[in-house]
Copies of this chain bind each other. A is one copy, B any other.
């Protein structure tokens, strides 16, 4: 079978647009729901709620922040105690709705603030981080307040689950910035991006919504998802046996 395709930033953008075009027919609500669910399922697969109940969900200003909000809600449903840090909420109406849904789940969102004090406090009382700050549309450099936040997150020593592209990584080139996070777990969405080819941790794929027609058109050669799961674990980049497969 042909090898799975890694997407550069331009192609990732093109596929995203096609999914939501008249031909693809998906709404942002649908895709974000399934993407966020896959993120929550990945975190819960690796970090159980008994030992890691307190999840700090770090959300960026774009669509990946929305994935984070959806994930936070599902993590709440799974029995975790998530807290949301979203210092620069995007202006789209959907983020307000997703945040309201979290509020209805009694999930706390830290007050937006340009200083990092609330983040410091939250890190000190968290067990694991979901990094939904930057995704495939990230263009360097890392801007405030995230330039101050990424080192704090790294220094916390907490395990990190990154969504799609670890925050601070170049989507095409990988980990070339000193500010870049070094996550333990990665959940790629739709298909993995060029920059994460050398990622060494546990790597999952989510976004079980790519229709056959689109998979063929872009020759994605996606792996088979197991059973009714929304995620599939990928073999490690170092070629070691995938002994930890789902």
Name A's B-contacting residues (CB within 8 A). Answer: 23-27, 29-30, 33-34, 40-41, 44-45, 74, 76-78, 96-98, 100-101, 104-106, 208-209, 211-214, 225, 227-228
B residues less than 8 Å from A213 (CB atoms): 104-106
29 residue pairs A–B, Cβ–Cβ below 8 Å: A23-B100, A23-B104, A24-B101, A24-B104, A25-B96, A25-B97, A25-B98, A25-B100, A25-B101, A25-B104, A27-B97, A29-B29, A29-B30, A30-B30, A30-B33, A33-B33, A40-B228, A44-B227, A44-B228, A45-B228, A74-B208, A77-B209, A78-B228, A101-B211, A104-B211, A104-B212, A105-B213, A106-B212, A106-B213
Question: In the assembly, how many copies of this chain are there?
Answer: 2
Which residue of B23, B24, B27, B212 contacts A29 across the interface (Cβ within 8 Å)?
B27
CA distance A45 to B209 in the complex (A): 20
The 9 closest A-B pairs by CB, nearest first: A104-B211, A25-B100, A29-B29, A25-B97, A41-B228, A104-B213, A27-B29, A44-B228, A105-B211
Q: For A40, A101, A104, A227, which residue has the most chain B Cβ atoms within 10 angstroms? A: A104
- Closest Cβ of chain B to A154, distance in Å, is 28
The A contact surface, by secondary structure, is helix
CA distance A209 to B33 in the complex (A): 11
